[in-house]
Amino acid sequence: MRARISSLRDHVLARHLAAALLGLVVVVMVLESVSDYRNTQLASMAYLGIAAGGLTVLTGLNGQLSLGHGALMAIGAYTSALLLPDNESSLPLSVVVLVAVVVTLAVGAAVGLAAARLHGPYLAGATLALAVAVPGIALYFKETLGGEQGLRVVMPDIPVWVLDAVFFVTGQDLTRSRFTAYVAWLTLIVVFVLLANLGAGRTGRRWRAVRDDEVAAELAGIDLGRARVSAFMVSAAAAGAAGAILAFTVKLAAPSAFTLTLSLTLLAAIVLGGLGSLAGALIGAALLTFLPSVVTDIGTDAGLSDIQAAELAPLVYGLVMVAVILLAPAGIVGSLRGALLRARARRRTPASAEPPATGTTSGTGTTTDPHADTTETAGTTPATTSKGTAS
């Protein structure tokens, strides 16, 4: 039995890695075939996706609500900006991202320690304070952090071996925006594999146990505080990576980028996509990245003035949000998966026996499972689905 379980766990990792490899191939194909402008947009989608992925783990898997993830991204972004002040800095971008992650992780640990004692609206309030306060720090320490105008981020030249390698594989010269998009999406893939693995493993089960029933979890020997703090730290680390990617993409770390709106945007992304689902986080990020520019373009083409077209975007965004909440309360991925499961269950009811659950590693609420792989959730019942969304 133990051997079986451990082989299953290996299998989960292998599946995540295979998905990551597939994702990588798709990313290469997409990034190589679209224009420089789309590459920049895709890089923006990646950083929103990374941060939303981290937040969806915190909110979806552990049930903690954070309104302060924008502030955590700011910490990642400012760390990167301080490390990349001019062309002379020789730090590789991977190191910059790592340092940004570590610094944000440390801040996340401190905030998480406080957050672990709070619930519901109190937690939301505390993280809200973080979102409001952190941009103020940049204004206060104007000399080092650049004040209102922020810090410029100077991207180092693309290493020659990267240029050569990319040309060898694709036959195209690597432009700067495409390079940034590659860095962004590689980071996204790494972060998502790590998050998916954490979520599918023992840590993830603990997080879910704490989310679903604190008393039961405590009786089962789970340290509530530790589970909460660890979830917050992991989530903060993802936000730090996202902040670093934001700095690379926008080439600026300024307080105006990290307003409360950003934190709320992230929350909107995971609600739109489906709480607890990494795929949902990605879909939400895509919507938030592409919707405004598409709507503005449609508005301009329809003969609206520039100002009217600019005002159309927030309106449509709000309407989409309302529509999703009304029509698909579990978010896009959550509702799709629910529909899929219901269809399967209906097909299967004539058969006598319910097949056994796929394995102990994935038996809990399906909508809250961090990866959208339907093969894994095939064995669970619609009942668990609705339980997951209720949290």
Partner 1 sequence: MTRHIRGTGPLVATLAAALALTACGAGGRDSSDGEAAAADPGVTEDTVTIGGTFPLTGVAAPGYSEIPTGAQAYFDFVNEQGGVHGRQIDYIVKDDGYNPTNTSTVTNELVLKEEVFATVGSLGTPTQASVADYLNDEGVPQLMVSSGSLQWGDDVENRPMTFGWQPDYEIEGKIIGQWVAENMPDAKVGLFLQDDDLGEDAEKGVRQFVDDQIVAVERYTSGNTDVAPQISGLQAAKADLVLAFNTPSYTALSQLVALKTGYKPKWFYANIGSDPALVGSLLERFSEGAVAGSSSALDGVLTTEYIPGIDSPEDPWVQLWQKVWDEHGEGGELTNYRIYGMSQAYAFVQALEAAGEDLTREGLVEAIEEQGADWEGPQLAPFRYSADSHMGIAGVRVVELKGGKGEDLTDVLVTDIGEDAEITTDDSGQADDAPPESGVPTS
CB of 28 to partner 1, least distance (A): 6
Q: Which of 148, 118, 354 is nearest to 224 (CA)?
A: 118
Contacting range for partner 1; rule: CB under 8 A; set: 11-19, 191-199, 206-214, 346-354 = 11-19
Q: Which of residues 244-263 bind partner 1 (CB under 8 A)?
A: 246, 249-252, 254, 256-257, 259
Give CA–CA dist 242/74, Å, rounded.
Answer: 9
* Cβ distance to partner 1 smaller for residue 233 or 341: 341
Site for partner 1 in 104-143 (CB under 8 A): 139, 142
Find the radius of gyration of the CA atoms of the chain.
Answer: 21
Of the pair 13, 98, the CB lying nearest partner 1 is at: 13
DSSP 154: -
In the numeric block, the tokens 């993280």 are attached to: 127
Q: Residue 38 or 119: which CB sits closer to partner 1?
A: 38
Give the distance from CA 377 to its chain's centroid: 21
Say how far apart CA 207 and CA 219 lie, in whole Å: 14
Q: How many CB atoms lie within 10 A of CB 301?
A: 9
Q: How far is the CB of 218 from partner 1 (least distance, A)?
A: 34
Query: What's the closest the beta carbon of residue 373 comes to partner 1, in angstroms?
Result: 8
| Closer residue to partner 1, CB minimum distance, 112 or 146 | 146
Report whether 210 contacts 227 (CB < 8 A): yes
- CA–CA separation, 103 vs 120, rounded Å? 26
Q: What are phi and psi of 92, to 5 degrees?
A: -70, 150
Q: Is 167 in the site for partner 1 (CB under 8 A)?
A: yes
Q: Is 28 in the site for partner 1 (CB under 8 A)?
A: yes
Interface residues toward partner 1, by CB under 8 A:
11, 15, 18, 21-22, 25-26, 28-29, 32, 35-37, 40-41, 44, 139, 142, 147-150, 152, 154, 163-164, 167-171, 173, 177, 246, 249-252, 254, 256-257, 259, 293, 296, 305-307, 310-311, 314, 358, 375, 378
